Amino acid sequence: MTNGIDEKVRGAYEEVLRRSTGEVEFHQAVREVLESLGPVLAKYPEFREGKIIERICEPERQIIFRVPWQDDRGEVQINRGFRVQYNSALGPYKGGLRFHPSVYLGIVKFLGFEQIFKNALTGLPIGGGKGGSDFDPKGKSDSEVMRFCQSFMTELMRYIGEYTDVPAGDIGVGGREIGYMFGQYKRLTSRYEAGVLTGKGLGYGGSLVRTEATGYGTTYFVREMLAVRKDSFEGKTCIVSGSGNVAIYTIEKIHELGGKVVACSDSNGVIHDEKGIDLDLVKRLKERERRRIKDYTDYRKHAKYVAGGNIWDIPCQVAMPSATQNEINGKDAATLVKNGCIAVGEGANMPTTPEGVKIFLASGIAYGPGKAANAGGVATSALEMQQNASRDSWTFEHTEQRLAEIMKNIHRNCWETAEEFGAKGNYVVGANIAGFIRVAKAMVAHGLI
Ligand code: NDP
């Protein structure tokens, strides 16, 4: 089980397996980072002496709580809430909340662990954390979602604050949910503490570009990877899985940059539109009417819908997984490469299984792992915090310009770090090492805490 891991980090990984039985997504995320770190310990013995890897794998604090609420029929429902405050070496804990029935501690810890390195890569002063609940917002009325969010925040408010821990959205948590949670926090604390949550509405402290940031940022990252190969999005056939926040704004930016997205999906099926996805229609169905993606064919008769279909079977040159973890397995990765895919940019967190990652890396295509490629979302959350702290609001153009610069810097940092550590072109190694070194240096400076 520990094959392929450098002996200098093997002990840390064994401890993770022992302490977190059954948390398979967490094991996967830790292993993927540790596999890159052997050469770093050889270069920085102080990290080894200070047991930085062992400390970084163990969250600073894990909170699990009951979330009782009443549905529209008056029946009592109980969900479980989580917040993992993973690492505060670089700033207040920062990371989204996920509301999805699959959420359990192992998912929150995998996401929180990834978040530490992602946030470090942005170069901004934010630590890593993540949270959520096994609540399923799908099919719930607005009032039910509001009652759930209020109950969730009634407990979570004890642990968060603009200098402590600043949650945001993730799967199942968008502007509506953030609004209800912000309202409840304000009510309970009697404080208008705008910087306690990001992803807020534009009318009450939100930042322009935050909604678009993850999708736009991932697309910028892929633009940089293509530029290294003297290529661009112009005329490329692209596939974007999912049809939520990240997918929608990935499609928007790809279309702006001259690419054509021919397929998107949700957890029930796949839409294939050879003429190019009609994004206004997807926005209407998903953002405004909260409908399923299969309804797309009611309006675009030539498009095909395949219930339970596999989006990665559709040939493309650029693939942007933007739905969920482990959505591309080894077979899917092989199919993508065989069909001529030259670049993969992960909008979702850990969407490719370890077998899939190996295939992408061995094939020599441009592969941008989530913790680097999708860091634009949290980076723009940090820009929202800056605007809240200075009681200012920036223009769309200025904020988007900052986002584009940040993504360029992340790309350059990953590229140069990979080269420095003898893995030219391997963004996995570059992202893991560059993120880790920044956090590790701060941890050494803070002493044994
Ligand atoms: P949304 O809830 O807005 O959308 C999620 C999309 O993915 C939906 O189309 C959903 O379909 C689909 N999906 C979710 N779970 C599954 C599943 N188990 N199988 C198949 N499809 C699924 O979430 P986001 O767009 O915000 O997040 C998407 C990904 O991006 C996640 O991995 C998230 O962690 C990551 N991410 C998000 C950031 C953000 O700023 N929002 C920042 C960085 C990363 P359905 O409606 O059927 O469930």
Question: For every one of its 449 residues, what pLDDT tens digit does the chain have, with 9 covering 90 and above?
Answer: 676 788 889 999 999 999 999 999 999 999 999 999 999 999 999 999 999 999 999 999 999 999 999 999 999 999 999 999 999 999 999 999 999 999 999 999 999 999 999 999 999 999 999 999 999 999 999 999 999 999 999 999 999 999 999 999 999 999 999 999 999 999 999 999 999 999 999 999 999 999 999 999 999 999 999 999 999 999 999 999 999 999 999 999 999 999 999 999 999 999 999 999 999 999 999 999 999 999 999 999 999 999 999 999 999 999 999 999 999 999 999 999 999 999 999 999 999 999 999 999 999 999 999 999 999 999 999 999 999 999 999 999 999 999 999 999 999 999 999 999 999 999 999 999 999 999 999 999 999 99
Per-residue model confidence (pLDDT) at position 1: 63
Write down the catalytic residue from 94, 109, 118, 130.
Answer: 130
Q: Measured in whole angstroms, how far is the alpha carbon of residue 62 from the centre of its chain?
A: 20
Q: Which domains does the chain have, with CATH numbers?
A: 1-58+424-449 (1.10.285.10), 61-191 (3.40.50.10860), 213-368 (3.40.50.720)
Rounded distance from Cα 308 to ligand 1 centre (Å) = 17
Ligand 1 atom showing the smallest separation from residue 102 Cα: 18
Rounded distance from Cα 381 to ligand 1 centre (Å) = 17
Question: Does the beta carbon of 23 sit less than 6 angstroms from any atom of ligand 1?
Answer: no
Q: Is 130 a catalytic residue?
A: yes
Question: Does the beta carbon of 36 sit less than 6 angstroms from any atom of ligand 1?
Answer: no
Rounded distance from Cα 248 to ligand 1 centre (Å) = 11
Per-residue model confidence (pLDDT) at position 8: 86
Question: Does the beta carbon of 2 sit less than 6 angstroms from any atom of ligand 1?
Answer: no
Rounded distance from Cα 173 to ligand 1 centre (Å) = 10
Pocket test for ligand 1, best of 266, 268, 328 (most atoms within 8 A of CB): 266
Pocket test for ligand 1, best of 108, 115, 126, 171 (most atoms within 8 A of CB): 171
Pocket test for ligand 1, best of 121, 197, 253, 324 (most atoms within 8 A of CB): 324
Per-residue model confidence (pLDDT) at position 4: 72
Instruction: For residue 442, give both structure tokens.
Output: 């701060």
